[in-house]
Structure 1
Amino acid sequence: MKFQILFLIFSILLIVQIPSSYADLVVSTNSKVYAPSHNLQVYGTGLPEENLILRLFAPDETIAKFDQLTTNPDGSFNYSLLTWPQPSTNFPYGTYTVEVISTEQNGISKKIDVQFSSTTELLDVPVQRVVNTLVFAPEVAAINQPIRVFVQTTSDGLLIGNEPAQLLGTTHVHLPSGISVTLTNSFKTLHQGLYYVDYTPIEEGTHVFHVVAFSQGTTSHGSAATNVLSQDLGGISEQIIRLNTILDDTSKELNVLKSEIEGFDTTLETASTKIDESTGTISTSVEFISEASSQLNSLLFPIIASIGIIVALQIAILARRR
Structure 2
Amino acid sequence: MKLNILFLFFTILLIIQIPNSYAQFDTTDDEFVGLSLYTNSKVYAPSHNLQIYGTGLPEENLILRLFAPDETIAKFDQLTTNADGSYNHSLLTWPQPSSNLPYGTYTVEVISTAQNGISKTIDVKFSSTTDLVDVPVERHVNTLVFAPETAAINQPIRVFVQTTSDGLLIGNEAGIKELLGNTHVHLPSGMTVTLTSSFKALHQGLYYVDYTPIEEGTHVFHVIAFSQGTTSHGSAATNVLSQDLGGISEQIIRLNTILDDTSKELDVLKSEIEGFDNTLETASSKIDESTGTISTSVEFISEASSQLNSLLFPIIASIGIIVALQIAILARRR
Q: TM-score range by the shorter chain?
A: over 0.9
Q: Aligned partner of 2:107: which letter?
A: T
Distance in 2 between the 1:62 and 1:315 partners? Answer: 154
Q: 1:147 aligns with which of 145, 149, 157?
A: 157
How big is the shift at 1:7? 4.8
Q: Structure 1: which amino acid aligns with 2:160?
A: F
Residues 1:96 and 2:103 are matched in the alignment: no
Gaps of 5+ in 2: 26-32
CA distance, structure 2, for counterparts of residue 40 and residue 123 of structure 1: 20
Give runs of aligned pairs for residues 43-62 of structure 1, distance below 5 A: 43-62=53-72
Residue 136 of structure 2 aligns with an amino acid whose one-letter code is P
Describe the superposition over 1:31-53 as per-residue Cα deviations: whole angstroms up to 9, x where unpaired.
11001111112222223332221
Of 293, 303, 315, 2:315 maps to 303
Cα distance in 1 for partners of 2:14, 2:194 equals 54
| Counterpart check, 1:216 vs 2:228 | yes
Paired residues in the alignment total 322
Which residue is 2:238 aligned to? 226
Q: Which residue of 2 aligns with 1:129?
A: 139
> Residue 296 of structure 1: CA displacement?
0.3
Percent identical: 84
User: Does the CA-based 8 Å contact 2:43-2:130 persist in structure 1?
Assistant: no
Contact 1:206–1:226 at 8 Å: present in 2 too?
yes
Q: 2:269 aligns with which of 237, 245, 257?
A: 257
Cα distance in 1 for residues equivalent to 2:46 and 2:256: 64
User: Secondary structure of the residue that 1:261 maps to in structure 2?
Assistant: helix
> Which whole-Å deviations, capped at 9, do the CAs of 1:112-134 have from their partners, x for residues lacking one?
11100011434531001011100
Q: Who is 1:275 aligned against?
A: 287
Q: Kindly indicate whether the alpha-carbon contact (under 8 Å) linking 1:22 and 1:47 is maintained by their aligned counterparts in 2.
A: no
1:190 aligns with 2:192: no
| Counterpart residue number, 2:30 | none
Q: How does 1:43-82 map to 2 (within 5 A)?
A: 43-82=53-92
Structure 1 length-normalised TM: 0.93
CA contact (8 A) 1:33 1:123 kept: no
* Structure 1 unpaired stretches of 5+: none
Greater CA drift, 159-168 or 3-12? 3-12
The whole-number CA distance in structure 2 between the counterparts of 1:285 and 1:219 is 109
Kindly state the Cα deviation for residue 241 of structure 1 after the two structures are TM-superposed. Answer: 1.2
Please tell me the residue identity of whatever aligns with 1:289.
I
- Secondary structure of 2:305 counterpart: helix
| TM-score, normalised with respect to structure 2 | 0.90
User: 1:10-49 deviations in whole A, cap 9, x for unaligned?
Assistant: 5545664554343213222111100111111222222333
Match of 2:178, as an amino acid?
Q
Look up the SS of the partner of 1:26 in the other structure.
coil
